[in-house]
Every structure is written in structure tokens, then in C-alpha cells.
Structure 1
């Protein structure tokens, strides 16, 4: 590798690190991390309980790999005498980026209330809140600054010259969201949702320095999804998000085709195979394959980079793996027996 190429790749890594610091973590399998999209999407699934984990590794072909993990838990139950439901949940995120191990860890409890708008079909308006603690830290020993160069070359024994208040800090973060979820036509399996969320509404601080003017940019996320059966054994699912955070914006969307296999009837297949693709506008094409083997699901995706970084990255973006468990409780008021219930 030539010196010029090395310098170019270092510059690309700096650009990537700067961009990552200016926005939240995100996943190509955004549909497997609903609370990160919108807390009012918690509980919109078929089941009483759901666990989901997503792992992402990206930019390994350019610089130190960026590793991100998400885990969320949701528990849905009926409330009152009508068809209303409440979902409680928890979102945990871990992200490590760049040479200095810039790490973000968050623990965010969530609650979502689903108000029924119809007694004879699925139609719900949901209001959700999520908030908790976020910690950010860096490994100062891995920093390289101009102060490390003494005229003869690089000298790691010299002080870095930075005046950090603290190489780690913790803040409180909060999000709120609203969504509408409804069935379409006579088939209860055909449904859709629309949602909007407002993240970081408390404008938490976002600096290792003691500077109150540097705050986390608020983030708006608009979400939509449609599931439509083609016949008894197959259906399409389309989902999309549009995100705006400060000067940054992102649009991602796509579709999965699903086919049911095995089992005694079409409502309870032994397997369901999903495959399709998503597009992160001006950034990546994302093929996805997924397998359901109730009560588990596993999905694998890969970002094929098509942005201006494709020369340095050789079109290699990031790999993602997700695992989901969703199921019903054996109880009288399980959502398995509900005539109407939030689902997608």
C-alpha cells in the first residue's frame, strides 16, 4: 500500500469518526430494534413477550471496526375492561468506535400505552415514553495529538496536551413517540403502522469538556410499515424510516418477501423464510435473509457501500446479525386469545 493511499484511508477514517460522533447509532435491520426508532412501536407484535438482539460490525476494511450491539425487551398485557393494552420494555445499547475506543452505553426503560379505537377490528393509537442513563467514555491512552511529536518524531511518553474535564461522563436521555396501528380489510394479518418520534427532547450535554453550549441534537424519526398477504403461504412486508438530527438526515426503506413452510396449518407454519433488500439512500444497498422457527427468528444482512467512501471501503460496509424470541404466556388474558390486539 502506497503512502498516499495510507494517508487517504486515514483521512477517510477521520471523516467517518466525525460523522459518527454527530449522530446516533443506527442499524440496517432497523425493524429489529423498534424502541430505538420510536418508543410507541414497543408491543406492536404478535405475542405477549419479545426479546431482540442486534449486533453490527462496520468499516473493518477502512479503519478500526465500529461495533454496535442492541438488546431490547418488551412485555405486553391487557389493561382495564376494554381492549386497551400497556407495554413495558427496556432498551440497552453498546457502541464502540474508532482508535480511541469511543464507547457509548445506555440503559433506557420504556412504557407504551395502546388505546383501542375499535371494538371489532385492530385499530390502535399508541403513546410511548423512553428514558434513562447514557455513559460515554474514551481511552485517553490511545489518543495521538500534535504534542506527541517532539521534532524528532512520535514520542508516546509526552502528555497529549488536552484538558479534558473527564474522559467519561453520564447523562439522562429521553424520547417520546406516537404511532397508529391498524388492520386492513377482512384479513387481520394484513396491517400497517405509522409513527413519529422525538428523541433527546431534554437536550443532554454532548461533550467531554465543561461546555454547557454543546448539547445533543434532538432527533425526529418518521416510521411506516405495511404487511400484505399474497396468498395463504406468502406475504410482503415493507418498512421505512426517515431520520433528521441536526444537519444530518437519513432515509432507509425496503421490503421482505416471506414464504411459510411446513406445519399443520398456514397460521402456524414450522418455518417462515424471508428475503429481500433495503436501501439507505446515497449510502448502502442492504440484502437481508431471515428465518423464523417459532418462537425464534434469526436475520443476517450486509451493507454494500455505494457512497463516496466505496473506493476506500471497497464497497464493504457492515455486517449485522439479529436474533429474536417472541412468544405467548399460558394464561387466560394472553394476547393469543384477544380478538383485537396491537400487532404487525
Structure 2
């Protein structure tokens, strides 16, 4: 291992807690983690009444002995559809867990979400929502080495360090808000876009003495997607995602194709193929299968930035599973879907 690679590994390993302003967890399959992208997505389920799912992400396993591992589970549902005129509430929750680097820095976040959805005429929908959450981070200092413990060849945990962590376990309260708009002029066309603001209360998070740099900056998220039914067997789903927090930005653009495998047979089976680009960082090929409203999606981050010189373009693997369904109180018929279906 050459010295450049050693320094890179040190930077990656120390990054989660040495940065003055913390950065959020993220998923390449942002469209399969709706509640973390925007709380207004809670209960916004155009083709079902409820859903629950989970995502697992493994990042940098090609260059770290202890790669970043992120887990997420969520669930949400539409409620009180008969209590509001052409509107309803969405209730949901999400749990996030992340283990990062050799110091086993563990992040746990639990959020509860509430949103309201109002039909505007027969072809559009406006949504607004918020969530409240609790977050915790803890780290095992005994497994860490710091830049001043590098002796020129190796990192020696026995050498003295000037780095002092005053607290290895921190918790805080967190707030997010968001809005969505959807337009569906006919059964073959659906357009949806939204904006959310995360960390509205700008909580403090630091393992060092609290100061100005320990405040988590607000994060802005903008996304847009569409579903276009090309023919009886093909639905195209272009979408885009942009987020900015402090001095960091992320932009993902791409397209998914859903192909109907059922034909005239009973049941619902779809093949999912897609390609996304995290601009300046990675290409993200995607493949999946949906069987009777259970969707499995796998994606792989192929690094195309300068980091590819160290990780051989092996970025991250991500797997998501989502189950959707309808209630049984529609007199034997499913509620009309707001987006194209096979």
C-alpha cells in the first residue's frame, strides 16, 4: 500500500467526525427512500394505500476493511380519506442506521412523519408535510488513529495525539418540512416534483467541545420524476434529484424502464432496468423485479471520479425492497390509481 493510498484511507476514516459540519446519509436509489427525501411523500402513494420497505447500502468495501454500511426501514399509509373533501392524511415513520469506518461510528435516526394531501380538481394534487425525529451518534475511540499518529510509514495508535473527543455519544432532536405537486392529465402521464428543507432547527452535533462548527446546516432537496406509458408493455420513469448542504452538492439524473412480463396472464410481474448518473462521481446501473406489488431493486455505483484510481471504480452496492397494497374497504374494487399502470 503506497503512502497516497494510506492518506486517502485516513481521510475517509476520519471524515465522519473531523469535519466541522456534518453531512447526511444518502442513497443512490433516492426514489426508493421517499420519506428521507421529503416528508410530504408520507402517504403520497399514487398506486396504493400503504407501503413499507427497506434499503441496505454498502460503500467503499474495495478500499476499507470496515466499509460504510447503511440500513433504512420505513412505512407509511393513507388515512382519513373519508374525513376530508378530496383529501387525506399520510402517516409514517422511518428508521436509519449507519456504521462508518474503523471507529465504528454508529448513527441511529428515528422519525415520525405527517402529511396532508389535497386534490386540486381531477388532475393534480398538492401535498405538504413534516417530520420530527431523534438522532444519536456514538463512536469507539479505542479503534481510531489520527493524523498526528502517522510515523511516516504507519499509523501507530500508541503515539500521543492532540485530538481530544469530549463526548463519544451525542443525541439531538431534528425537524424536516416539505411540499409536493403532482399532475396526471390522463392515464398515461404522471409528473411529480417537490422541495424539502431538512434540519430546520439546525441541531448541534459534535464529539468535540460545542462551537459554531458543530451546527448541522440546513439541507435543501429538490426532485422531479415522471411516469410515461409508452405502450401496453413499457413505462418510462425519468427522474432527477438535487441536494445541497453547507458546501456539498449532489445531483443524480437518470431513467428507469418498467417492462410488463405478465402479458395477459394473471398477476403483476415487471422487469426494471435503469441507468443514473451522480454527476462528477459515479454511474449507477439499476436492475430489479416487481412481483405482485413487491419490488426488488439493486444498484451499483461505478465510480468515474478521481477516486476510481483507488477503488477500481467499485463504489457502492445498494438493495431495496418495497411492498405496496390496498385496503379492503373499496367494495371489492381497488381505488383508482393516479399514475400509469399495466
TM-score using structure 1 length: 0.89
- Structure 1 residue 193 corresponds to structure 2 residue 192: yes
Distance 1:85 1:146, change over 3 A: closer
Counterpart pick for 1:11 among 2, 7, 18: 7
Of 102, 105, 112, which aligns to 2:108? 105
Aligned Cα root-mean-square deviation (Å)? 2.6
Contact 1:12 1:309 in 2 (8 A): no
Contact 2:184–2:338 under 8 Å retained in 1: no
Describe the shift of the 1:146–1:240 C-alpha distance in structure 2 as closer, same or farther (beyond 3 A): closer
Residue 199 of structure 1 deviates from its aligned partner by 0.3
Residue 221 of structure 1 and its aligned partner are, at CA, apart by 0.4
- The answer to whether the Cα contact below 8 Å between 1:44 and 1:342 also exists between their aligned partners in 2 is no
* Contact persistence 1:290–1:297 (CA under 8 A): yes
Quote how far apart the aligned CAs of 1:260 are.
Answer: 0.6
How far did 1:210 drift? 3.0
Q: Measure the CA separation in 1 of the matches of 2:205 and 2:13.
A: 15
Q: Say which SS state the counterpart of residue 220 (structure 2) adopts.
A: strand
Partner of 1:202: 201
Show the counterpart of 1:271: 269
Aligned mates of 2:338, 2:193 — CA distance in 1: 16
Change (3 A) 1:81 1:96: closer
* Aligned counterparts of 1:154 and 1:293: Cα–Cα separation in 2: 50
Q: Which runs of 5+ in 2 are unaligned?
A: none
Further displaced range: 248-257 or 9-18: 9-18
Q: Which residue of 2 aligns with 1:40?
A: 40
Gap change, CA 1:249 and 1:145, over 3 Å in 2: closer
1:311-322 to structure 2, matched below 5 A, reads: 311-322=309-320
Structure 1 alignment gaps of length 5 or more: none
Q: After TM superposition, which residue ranges in structure 1, 4 or more long, deviate above 6 angstroms?
A: 146-150
Superposition pairs of residues 32-71 of structure 1, within 5 angstroms: 32-45=32-45, 46-63=47-64, 64-71=66-73
Instruction: Indicate conservation of the 8 Å contact 1:43/1:343, yes or no.
Output: no
Alpha-carbon distance in 1 for matches of 2:262, 2:334: 23
Closer, same or farther in 2 for the Cα pair 1:81/1:202, shift >3 Å?
Answer: closer
Matches within 5 A, 1:143-292: 143-145=144-146, 156=157, 162-184=163-185, 186-187=186-187, 189-213=188-212, 214-262=214-262, 264=264, 269-292=267-290
**Aligned counterparts of 1:203 and 1:84: Cα–Cα separation in 2:** 32
